[in-house]
Structure 1
Amino acid sequence: MRHRCRYVGPVAQLLLVEDDAEIRRALIRALSERGHVVASASTSIAAMQHVIGQTPDLVVLDLGLPDLDGRELLLMLRAVSKVPVVVATARDDEATLVEVLDRGADDYVVKPFSVTQLDARIRAVLRRAGAESAAAAVLGVGTLCISPGAREATLDGRLLDLTPREFDLLSYLAVRVGTVVTKRELLVNVWRQPAGGADKTVDVHLSWLRRKLGESAQQPRYLHTVRGVGVRLNAPAER
């Protein structure tokens, strides 16, 4: 019997552009808990590279960046992309807020703000942009269903008992289904560790995840190792 994924609500792939490491970590954690898939950049150059290469559903943009003012980055983004942008800034003067809207921002929030307020603005902008339907609410790979909002995953209709890190790892791979993801990328984006951390950490968690998916490295169904490159999540071939 085939089990189908159940729709539970919207989730988006966000790019958070924020140079303050503490604020960045807190927002990533809070927005992820609300069901979004969050990547981050601390500079304008890194943000541009991500938007061009990864096409996120929405950008949350701080204006006070170290290499280029966020207002200039906004102009650069608008030159290459229609991605919705919510500006998050400590600048509360009317002239700045009018300027960012004129330069193409879709909305703004003024620091300090609650994550609930930011999340509401994000979802409102996505609705206006028609992007919520494109951002899959439940990620389905074969009979494996991942619900980022509920932070639950099922296999053949059975709830998987995953640790928070195992769930984050599975979700990250599911968003990139069919794509080989390097261990370095997983360390940076799932573990939030600098590139060059211990690959052993990733290997151990992949081993635990495989066991819970009922497979092994020698007999993979969903998680396929590409030797010397990384790992890829694929639906198992039909028998």
Structure 2
Amino acid sequence: MYCLKQIHIQNFRNIEYQTIYLGERKSVFVGKNGSGKTIILKAIEKLINSKRIKRKDFKDLEKKLILEATVIYNGEEIKIKIEAKFESDEITTVDNFSDEKQKEFLKKVNLIFIPADRKINKENKEDGYIKLIDLILKTKELKNDKLVSKAREKLSNLKSRDGATKTTILISLLRLYLFSIKNFKSDDFTIFLIDQPENFLHPHATKMIDEILQSIGEQENTKVCYATHSTEL
């Protein structure tokens, strides 16, 4: 069993010091622009994906930056942590990603991050859309499905800047993911981080994506987190 229990953020972006306790299956962060809800998703993404700390990540360059997650891995509570300092125009980082338990856990995690602008970076193997399609293709139900493979190809060639089009694609992929895992058991831990799922959608479709995310969050070894302006989600 896997569970992301909490995330501690210190001196990251506009958050000075905050510990967030997360729900077992689903966590929703509601707030106005600039309230820090998206930064929580970014902190989780940077920590779990072992991303490099950059100068812009520091709220105060004279203070230490700390990101720490508490997770349950095979019934045991472990910490995933990174610390960074900015000194003489250089960033020094210390993490525990190579520790045995932490390394095992991180190898088991599939993290899907979808930004608010629905931007698709086809050159980035960590792109949320691309990773979601690859995750679907791993399942037995759709392992050899030519339609899904073709969808990946079309997505890579998508030139439209229309956020609504990309959100429609996202909804379709999420529904396909739900179908694909229906009879598929995996010992991986999948985390969905979606920034403002209601973007580019009319109210009916907003309710639809909320129901889809709710269903995904009910799956075993799955965590759904999203940031939103809407109190309806």
Same fold (TM over 0.5): no
Please identify the structure whose Cα radius of gyration is greater. Answer: 1
TM, length-normalised to structure 2:
0.31
Between 1 and 2, higher relative CO (CA 8 Å, sep ≥ 6) is seen in 2
TM, length-normalised to structure 1:
0.31
- The structure with more helix, counted as a fraction of residues: 1
- The structure with more strand, counted as a fraction of residues: 2
